[in-house]
Amino acid sequence: MKKNIRLSLAAASCALLGSHGAMAEDKHDVGDWDISAALLFYSEPDRVTATEPVISAKKQIDTDETLTLKLTLDTLTGASANGAVPTNRPQSFTSPSGGTSAYTAAGETPLDESFKDTRVAVNAAWEKPIAKDLTMVLGTNFSTEYDYTSFAVSSTFAKDINNSNTTLMAGLSLGMDMIEPVNGKPVAFGTLQTQGDDDDEDDDGNKVKNGSDDTKSLVDIVVGVTQVIDQNSLFQLSYSLSSSSGYLTDPYKFISVVDPTTGIPLFENNAQPDLPTVVYENRPDSRLKHSVFGQYKRYIGGDVLDTSYRFMVDDWGITSNTIDVKYRWKFADTQYLQPHVRVYQQSAADFYTPFFIDGQQPTVGDTNSEASADYRLGEFMAYTVGLEYGQDNPSNSWSVALEYYLQTGDEPSQAFGELKNQELYPDVDALMLRVVYDF
Amino acid sequence: MKLTLPRILAFLLFSVSICSQAAELDLARYKGKLVYVDFWASWCGPCRASFPFMNDLVKEYGNELAVVSVNLDEERQDADDFLKEIPADFSVIYDPEGGLAKQYGVRGMPNSFLFDRSGKLVSRHDGFTVKDPQHIRELIDNTLGKSQ
Amino acid sequence: MRKHMLWIAVIASSTLTACSSMGVDPWQRQNLAKPEMALDSSPLNTALDDHIYFSKEASSGGRSFGGGGCGCN
């Protein structure tokens, strides 16, 4: 028996390279669990704050086989834009859970104050060679929060060719999400806050929420190639097709209805005169996205340059470009500093509308019409700048990163009257602090 | 315009000879023994895993089997550091230019080759996983003529 | 002149072939094998970032499969 064999090894075999970051030189024994933990603090001034602890455990089953389990907790508190426009007088909004009203001062962006959620996510991935130079990764994700449950399975195959200088990759992921909005999903363009304090019914006594849950299904396909260029550089190019269908609407987002001449939201509620008239949004019931992703990495005498570019286009009319550049500057043998810049640009969805002019909003329940005032479907640029400091030690490594994120878009051209005096597309910024520790 | 084939060949051979600074492995030295040749590098994880196994082979088969390893690190220091951490009970040949590796057609690491007593190649083995030691022992035993 | 050019080409290409500066052999991957040279060298960071951007922007994924849906978008 060779019980004394101390199998000390890498994340994967030397012969393999590609999507799995193979050939890595970390020294984990077969049978060992490699534990990593991360903590993210995310904070938008006056808005959302998130704390996200992650723990990941990777078992080295063999020199070329691993099992990775990951648990993520995501705690969100604070407020996010509810889609309604600011105006020159105070507005109140009934929260999705009914009852309490959120007060918005004149000139302020209306927020959904009840934004509070805890999400638990579990991921598992099993990587195993199934034939010579052919690796399979089976993955599964499950996540749950109080109004949303998501489940997905995936399998990815990577084939090394050309003396392992080229890796071909293909994968398929199937997912199913369950959406259970508070009080059920809303009726498309259901009108709110126009009468009394009964938020579940419109003027004619029709329900604006039909009380039901809904689902969405997701199919993702990815194909790609990784190529070693020389002893110090490699690139990856991949194409992915992502199809989602089912309930893609945000059940908590409103669209303001404004007066055609003044540009001030309608206030039609006699009992509560500070309640503006808003309608629920409605998005298409399917979305097809195409993405092309390219990445280039180069080792420069101990430093590493990591650049990537992504182009995305979908059938909602959104096009986006993302550029990401990191430079890992190594010093004092085991320490590094890594500046990071990311630039993101997107065009608006065809159905994005910052508000409705009274008379032009679709009729209640008209699911053939699509509109959303969600700023995330508008046209904007986003910038991230960050700096990471890390230490690579044989027994434990850790890193800490601070990043600043800024989203900025132009004011909508269709603004008129009072809308011109308001900031309809305010900047959103956030600070992120990330700590990772490898045990 | 006319280039003779011999001239080109001569030049290619010259290029090869200046590039690969002659690490040599003379199997004839081990005549009468089985030879287990293993190509490795300090930065290769599975290679690291195969070292205790090769030390065991030396112990188990004594004079019947010669274990010869070929180190492919470009920097000698990297190999020396590795061997300080995981000592080898077998000989190490240094082939920083990869001449021997080319000659053997190494296509991944570790890559091992088993030769019989007459110096004939019996088998080659790519990579190193937990089930490999048993498999390699069986091959050695078969080649030695031991019955299972 | 053309003969010179041809010789230069032959010298260059044969040297390249012999010294393998084109195409990487398995034993020439010391730098590529470093953990920081993995395409996704810090999967935990990547997953955290992707989740943030997924909830703030209309694009997601592209690199590989995401970490599952959420009600944040």
Dump pLDDT digits (tens) for A321-336: 999 999 999 999 899 9
A8-438 is classed in which CATH architecture? Beta Barrel (2.40)
> Tokens for A373?
């005032």
Taking the C-alpha atoms of residue A5 and residue B136, their distance in angstroms, rounded to an integer, is 15
Sign of the alpha-carbon torsion through A341, A412, A359, A107 = positive
ipTM: 0.88
User: Does B28 have pLDDT greater than 50?
Assistant: yes
pLDDT band at B16 (very low <50, low <70, confident <90, very high): very low
Place of tokens 């180069």: A298
| H-helix or E-strand spanning residue B60 | helix B45-61
Highest mean pLDDT among A174-183, A262-271, A403-412: A403-412
- Please give the backbone phi and psi of residue A363, each rounded to the nearest 5 degrees, phi first: -70, 155
User: Cβ–Cβ of C32/A299 closer than 8 Å?
Assistant: yes
Highest mean pLDDT among A181-185, A196-200, B86-90: B86-90
| Mean pLDDT, range A397-417, rounded to an integer | 96
Residue of B nearest to A128 (CA): B129
Which pLDDT does position A165 carry in this prediction?
92
Which residues does chain A have within 8 Å of residue C28's beta carbon, measured at their own beta carbons? 231
Which pLDDT does position A203 carry in this prediction?
52
Which pLDDT does position A144 carry in this prediction?
94
> Tokens for B115?
């030769």
Q: Which domain does B113 fall in, by range?
A: 34-129
Taking the C-alpha atoms of residue B144 and residue A61, their distance in angstroms, rounded to an integer, is 32
Residue B82 within any structural domain of the chain: yes
Place of tokens 């063999």: A62
For chain B, the domain total comes to: 1
User: Does B96 have pLDDT greater than 90?
Assistant: yes
Contact between residue A347 and residue A410 where contact means Cβ atoms under 8 Å apart: no
| Mean pLDDT, range B66-93, rounded to an integer | 95
Which residues does chain A have within 8 Å of residue C40's beta carbon, measured at their own beta carbons? 21
User: Does A114 have pLDDT greater than 90?
Assistant: no
CA–CA distances in Å: residue A286 to residues A188, A211, C38:
15, 22, 35
User: Does A97 have pLDDT greater than 60?
Assistant: no
pLDDT band at A24 (very low <50, low <70, confident <90, very high): very low
Does any CB of chain B come closer than 8 Å to the CB of residue A13?
yes
> Tokens for A264?
């001030």
End-to-end Cα distance, chain C: 67
Which residues does chain B have within 8 Å of residue C16's beta carbon, measured at their own beta carbons? none
Among the partner-chain residues A6, A9, A163, the one whose CB lies closest to the CB of B45 is: A9
Place of tokens 């080898």: B88
Residue B94 within any structural domain of the chain: yes
Q: Using omega within 30 degrees of 0 as the cis cutoff, is the peptide bond preceding B110 cis?
A: yes
> Around A378, how many Cα atoms within 13 Å sit in the side-chain half-sphere?
22
Which residues does chain B have within 8 Å of residue A30's beta carbon, measured at their own beta carbons? 49, 130
Taking the C-alpha atoms of residue B74 and residue B41, their distance in angstroms, rounded to an integer, is 9
Residue B81 within any structural domain of the chain: yes
End-to-end Cα distance, chain A: 31
User: Does A80 have pLDDT greater than 80?
Assistant: yes
Give the least confident one: A286-290, B39-43, C10-14.
Answer: C10-14
CA–CA distances in Å: residue A269 to residues A92, A199, A277:
11, 11, 8
Q: What is the SS3 assignment for B89?
A: coil
CA–CA distances in Å: residue A95 to residues A116, A148, A213:
12, 18, 19
| Mean pLDDT, range A13-24, rounded to an integer | 34
Q: Which residues 6+ apart lie within 8 Å of A225 measured at CB?
A: A166, A167, A168, A169, A236, A237, A238
Taking the C-alpha atoms of residue B53 and residue B115, their distance in angstroms, rounded to an integer, is 18
Which pLDDT does position A121 carry in this prediction?
95
| H-helix or E-strand spanning residue B45 | helix B45-61
What does the mean pLDDT of chain A come to? 88
Query: Among candidates B25, A300, B126, B53, which has minimal Cα distance to C26?
Result: B126
pLDDT, tens digit, for every residue of C24-64? 899 999 999 999 999 999 999 999 999 999 999 998 877 76
**Percentage of residues in chain A with pLDDT exceeding 70?**
89
- Residue ranges of chain C whose CB lies within 8 Å of a chain B CB: 2-3, 6, 10-11, 14-15, 17-20, 25-30, 33-34
Name the more confident of A389 and A272: A389
User: Does A196 have pLDDT greater than 50?
Assistant: yes
User: Cβ–Cβ of C67/A141 closer than 8 Å?
Assistant: yes
Query: Among candidates A121, A202, A179, A75, which has minimal Cα distance to C73?
Result: A179
Local structure of residue B130 (DSSP, 8 states) = T
CA–CA distances in Å: residue A363 to residues A280, A282, A356, A371, B129:
11, 12, 12, 12, 66
| H-helix or E-strand spanning residue B140 | helix B132-144
CB pairs under 8 A between A and C: 195
Taking the C-alpha atoms of residue B111 and residue B98, their distance in angstroms, rounded to an integer, is 13
Among the partner-chain residues A6, A10, A163, the one whose CB lies closest to the CB of B52 is: A6
Contact between residue C13 and residue C6 where contact means Cβ atoms under 8 Å apart: no
> Tokens for B132?
């490999």
Name the more confident of A128 and A114: A128
Which residues does chain A have within 8 Å of residue B109's beta carbon, measured at their own beta carbons? 14-15
CA dihedral A180, A183, A184, A187 (to 10 degrees): -140
Which residues of B form the catalytic set?
44, 47
pLDDT band at A16 (very low <50, low <70, confident <90, very high): very low
The CA distance from A122 to the nearest CA of chain B, in Å, is 29
Angle at A216 between CA A193 and CA A175, to 5 degrees: 145
- Beta strands B65-71; B91-94: pairing state: parallel
Taking the C-alpha atoms of residue A276 and residue A243, their distance in angstroms, rounded to an integer, is 36
CA–CA distances in Å: residue A78 to residues A141, A252, A310, C57:
26, 15, 31, 18
Mutation target vs B (from C27, C28, C30; most B CBs, 10 A cutoff): C27
Q: What are all long-range contacts of A325-332, with beta carbons under 8 Å and residues at least 24 apart?
A: A327/A303, A328/A303, A328/A304, A328/C36, A329/A303, A330/A302, A330/A303, A330/A304
Angle at C70 between CA C67 and CA C72, to 5 degrees: 125
Contact between residue A339 and residue A309 where contact means Cβ atoms under 8 Å apart: no
> Tokens for A222?
């990815």
User: Does B146 have pLDDT greater than 70?
Assistant: no
Which pLDDT does position A49 carry in this prediction?
92
CA–CA distances in Å: residue A419 to residues A211, A408, A423:
34, 18, 8
Residue B38 within any structural domain of the chain: yes
User: Does A66 have pLDDT greater than 90?
Assistant: yes
Mutation target vs C (from B4, B42, B44; most C CBs, 10 A cutoff): B44
In this complex, the chains that touch A, judged by 3 or more CB pairs closer than 8 A, are: B, C
Residue B146 within any structural domain of the chain: no
Which pLDDT does position A113 carry in this prediction?
74
Query: Among candidates A217, A204, A213, which has minimal Cα distance to A287?
Result: A217
Taking the C-alpha atoms of residue B119 and residue A6, their distance in angstroms, rounded to an integer, is 31
Contact between residue A225 and residue A236 where contact means Cβ atoms under 8 Å apart: yes
Which pLDDT does position A19 carry in this prediction?
32
Does any CB of chain A come closer than 8 Å to the CB of residue B126?
yes
